Amino acid sequence: MRLISQGAQYAISAIIAISKHTEDGAVSASYLSKSLNCPTAYLSQILAKLKEPGILKSQRGLNGGVYLAKSAEDITMMDVIAAIDGTEFFNKCFMGIEGCGHIEPCPFHAFWSMERKKIEKWLKETTFEQVDQNMTQTWFDLRLQFSNSVPSF
């Protein structure tokens, strides 16, 4: 079972990658899409959704691309997931039963309500700076397939 969409997964991976390249300036969607093994057009739509809530900014032109609008310590996992998937997950029944808890709760209602709150709290408290601190370079290299430098444009 996946708790977040593929789009949110790409967004999280992109934020991790962009935060690794902050000293290099803006990173192009094309470069990110190759490294994330994601279609450029789809990733561009995802990155655009991260601009409205102030997570990313973009720069046009020869050295154009996206960059973090604020520091990694000020961006939480919840910020990114909410921008892509919304927050409906935190109000839904584990079984997907409409009205669960309002009329007759499903057998999983009490357990899932508590666990959902724990997940939400963790996502709100976990910053991308913490993610970076907990991530090994080997994991980054294997999962995100980035070369050591951002190519010149």
State pTM to two decimals. Answer: 0.83
Q: Tell me: domain 6-144, CATH 1.10.10.10, correct?
A: yes
Mean pLDDT, the chain, rounded, equals: 85
* pLDDT value of residue 19: 87
| SS3 label, residue 11 | helix
Domain boundaries, the chain: 6-144
Most confident by average pLDDT, 87-96, 118-127, 130-139: 118-127
The whole-angstrom separation of Cα 40 and Cα 10 is 11
The whole-angstrom separation of Cα 58 and Cα 104 is 48
